[in-house]
Amino acid sequence: MYQNPKKFTESERSKQDKRLSELRDKSKEGGGEKRKQNQHDKGKLTARERIELLIDESSFVEIDAFVVHQNEKFNMSENKPLGDGVITGYGTIAGRPVFVYSQDFTIFGGSLGRAQATKICKVMDLAVKTGCPVIGLLDSGGARIQEGVDSLAGYGDIFFRNTQASGVIPQISIILGPCAGGAVYSPSLTDFILMNRTNSFMFVTGPEVVKAVTGEEVSFYDLGGSDVHSTLTGICHLVGDTEEETIDLSKKLLSYLPANNLDDPPIELNESEENNQLELADLIPKEENEPYDMKRVIEIIADTDSFFELQDEWSKNIVVGFARMNGITVGIIANQPLYLGGAIDYHAADKASRLIRFCDSFNIPILTFVDVPGFMPGLKQEHEGIIRHGAKLLYAYSEATVPKISVIIRKAYGGAYIVMSSKHLGTDINLAWSTAEIAVMGAEGAARILHRKKLKEAEDPEKVLADFTQQFKDEFANPYQAAEKGYVDKVIFPEETRREIAVALHLLQNKRDHLPRRKHGISPV
């Protein structure tokens, strides 16, 4: 017969409660008040303060708070701080679930040993299983020196998971302190890297090693600060002036993204200005070589205030980012005539390819605005591999099966016409403004090549060149030859662009397309 089980006595229960409460309090101590103060003195927040800024109020659920390292060497058994230098868990951002880990610099400099790595791997595994984004807040001295190969193994486990999760869930890395040595390869495998302007550093070998090997003397900042990575290497997508701003940027970024590759991005409707579309025609200068700001074109066409640019300080000749059209997230790729005339150089090709591949993995339509005089000529470009980098862009567009829409604004010359989301690469809807010029090259260049002999012999070569140029312009500097052949689906007035794109997006929302059966293609990386 069932008997009521024996209950804990009051004193037993209070002992249990006390133990749990003490452990909980202890796990929140981090490396102690002094080290927390050091962190603040450097202008940095603690790991917990960062999570509070990132995650919706009261939504954070910490896991593995009592995990400790198992290392016995170097007297480490006497120092086993709870949590082992990383806070992990889940919560919501704008009500949407995310997984997060935040390295705690106050515990062994946030360095990564076996236990810390296992904690990070656990949240990554949970994020993949549940189809939620994972966000890392990084602030670490790298591999925990006392743990030797165990810490290297831990990094390896993380890199493996970063790769497995790629294209399945969005992965965001926010660098808020040092990120040195092989540790840099985890963020580099994620989709987006954000840095704080003053306190973030990423380098494979630090200033001391650099000096020993090459004799170069360089500061942390000049070697791998936010300026380096947002203007030179391009690995940093967004920079915040403060930690608060950097974390806010990550939340804004997330608002454009789906939770996983089977999900659709959230729809965010916004009252949009429709009456300013007439401004578009006035933006384009009469002279074909005069620049204008492509960002303004994007801002007018997209939902009001929805354009969110990425990597804005790197390879400025191409603009990439997200925007919304009637609330729907789109990926934007656009030549920028303000820099290098909008020509595609090897960095621009990389920058655009990366966002195209991200969008394709995450069901985000790709919207391309074209005004491109060609690939960037020059010894440096050829020697740095513009052939290989340009091929990546061709590959990325050709491989993408999400809805693809392009608008040729002005120039679309030569190979760059093909590469910038042309019909030939499987673009679904190709629009062109009446100002579009689709040709093998610019009118004057073409006239010079075709009529070299006549120009040499002419009495007034300037006039003859002008005449030939005009002739060539009349013939080719328009969108109609391409429209006659169906390479452009529709020639439109600038003010019709927003509506045409919105209608095309609606049409393409149920697009189905597939690639040939194969393990994977080989992008020319």
Sign for the CA dihedral angle at 361, 363, 364, 365 comes to positive
108 binds ligand HXC (CB under 6 A): yes
For tokens 């103060």, name the residue.
37
Neighbours of 352 (CB within 10 A): 28
Per CB under 6 A, which region of 69-77, 104-112, 330-338, 496-504 contacts ligand HXC? 104-112
The site that binds ligand HXC (CB under 6 A) totals a number of residues, namely 17
183 binds ligand HXC (CB under 6 A): yes
Tokens of 187: 């963020």
What is the closest distance, in whole angstroms, from the C-beta atom of residue 508 to ligand HXC in the complex? 42
Residue 369 and residue 371: Cα distance in Å, rounded? 7
Taking the least distance from each CB to ligand HXC, the nearer of 225 and 341 is 225
What is the closest distance, in whole angstroms, from the C-beta atom of residue 168 to ligand HXC in the complex? 23
Neighbours of 519 (CB within 10 A): 5
What is the closest distance, in whole angstroms, from the C-beta atom of residue 71 to ligand HXC in the complex? 11
Q: Which of 246, 142, 234 is nearest to 197 (CA)?
A: 246
Residue 477 and residue 443: Cα distance in Å, rounded? 7
Taking the least distance from each CB to ligand HXC, the nearer of 108 and 375 is 108
Binds ligand HXC by CB under 6 A, chosen from 109, 170, 187, 234: 109
Task: Indicate the SS3 state at residue 25.
Answer: helix
Biggest distance spanned by C-alpha atoms of the chain:
119
181 binds ligand HXC (CB under 6 A): yes
Residue 81 and residue 27: Cα distance in Å, rounded? 8
Taking the least distance from each CB to ligand HXC, the nearer of 210 and 464 is 210
Q: Which of residues 446-485 bind ligand HXC (CB under 6 A)?
A: none
For tokens 């120009």, name the residue.
455
Q: Which of 504, 512, 499, 281 is nearest to 405 (CA)?
A: 504
Q: Write the binding mask 198 to 237 for ligand HXC: x where contact by CB under 6 A, - elsewhere.
A: --------x-------------------------------
List residues with catalytic annotation. 181-182, 415-416
What is the closest distance, in whole angstroms, from the C-beta atom of residue 26 to ligand HXC in the complex? 18
What is the closest distance, in whole angstroms, from the C-beta atom of residue 140 to ligand HXC in the complex? 7
Pairing of strands 96-103, 308-310: unpaired
Per CB under 6 A, which region of 96-104, 177-185, 370-378, 424-432 contacts ligand HXC? 177-185
What is the closest distance, in whole angstroms, from the C-beta atom of residue 31 to ligand HXC in the complex? 7
143 binds ligand HXC (CB under 6 A): yes
Binds ligand HXC by CB under 6 A, chosen from 90, 99, 101, 155: 155
141 binds ligand HXC (CB under 6 A): yes
85 binds ligand HXC (CB under 6 A): no
330 binds ligand HXC (CB under 6 A): no
Burial 311-323 (b: 16+ CB within 10 A, else e): bbbbbbbbbbbbb
Per CB under 6 A, which region of 175-183, 232-240, 306-314, 495-503 contacts ligand HXC? 175-183
Neighbours of 76 (CB within 10 A): 16
Q: Write the binding mask 18 to 37 for ligand HXC: x where contact by CB under 6 A, - elsewhere.
A: -----------------x--
Tokens of 59: 């939504």
Binds ligand HXC by CB under 6 A, chosen from 39, 46, 111, 329: 111
Residue 177 and residue 187: Cα distance in Å, rounded? 13
Neighbours of 415 (CB within 10 A): 14
Element (DSSP H or E) covering residue 338: none
Per CB under 6 A, which region of 103-111, 191-199, 247-255, 427-435 contacts ligand HXC? 103-111
117 binds ligand HXC (CB under 6 A): no
152 binds ligand HXC (CB under 6 A): yes
144 binds ligand HXC (CB under 6 A): yes
> Which ranges in 193-330 belong to alpha helices (H)?
207-214, 220-224, 226-227, 243-254, 279-283, 294-301
Write the burial class of residue 418 (CB in 10 Å: 0-12 exposed, 13-18 middle, 19+ buried): middle
For tokens 């491109």, name the residue.
372
Taking the least distance from each CB to ligand HXC, the nearer of 66 and 220 is 220
Pairing of strands 437-439, 404-413: parallel
Residue 487 and residue 162: Cα distance in Å, rounded? 40
Taking the least distance from each CB to ligand HXC, the nearer of 209 and 278 is 209
142 binds ligand HXC (CB under 6 A): yes
Which residues sit at the interface with ligand HXC, rule CB under 6 A?
A: 35, 108-109, 111, 141-145, 152, 155, 178, 180-183, 206
